[in-house]
Amino acid sequence: MSKVKVIGFSVSLDGFGAGNDQNIDNPLGTRGQELHKWMYPTKAFQKMIGKDGGTEGIDNDLIENSFENVGAWIIGRNMFGPIRGQWKDDDWRGWWGEEPPYHVPVFVLTHYARNPIKMKGGTIFYFVTNGIKSALEEAKKVADGKNIRVGGGISTIRQFLQVGYIDEIRFAFSPTFLGSGEHLFSGIDLSKLGFTQIQKINGEGATHITLTKE
């Protein structure tokens, strides 16, 4: 049976998952890249961007494991691209080039319809205009019993948390304070949502906290 998971989502020590002023040149916002410093040197990340080499170890292993048994993704529109409002054309096909790292169907939450985009390596972007419940239903149809991974941004994860759809969360807490930006935890009581089981793994560049329900 499919489980809905947030895996490897980077957060600052003060709870921010992105900086202010996100745009095409700075998609993570002001200082947002600091949240992902733990990831950039790893072999798994270097492979995602088409490069060889990279570090191995706990952080790398956790990135690699995060893609196992995933049958579908659900992401917010910001994670697909910086365009706002109506789609101007079909030129923008995502941040990752012609072969994104997903390799499974990806359901993009948006208010504006767009035809599916088939990419190399098995990724197909579907654009869902009628909310997270519909996206989850569609994801379950194609996941074939595998897990459904919910990616960013902050708004998407908060929506899924608030209605109780998330079964497991693994945060990567980066050793930095952003001070401002998009806050993940504001107004959310994770214990009341049922996340009472906590596991900690110390990586080379981040502390990984896994929360699961009983």
State residue 169's pLDDT score.
97
Residue 132, SS3 per DSSP: helix
pLDDT at residue 119 is higher than 90: yes
The rounded mean pLDDT for the chain is 93
pLDDT band at 146 (very low <50, low <70, confident <90, very high): very high
Q: What is the pLDDT of residue 171?
A: 97
At residue 50, the 3 state secondary structure works out as coil
Assess whether pLDDT exceeds 80 at residue 214.
no
Query: What's the rounded Cα separation, in Å, for the pair 77 and 74?
Result: 10
- The structural domains of the chain, with segments of one domain joined by +, span 4-19+29-83+97-213
Res. 91: pLDDT tops 90: no
Q: What is the mean pLDDT of residues 51-61?
A: 96
Q: Does domain 4-19+29-83+97-213 have CATH number 3.40.430.10?
A: yes
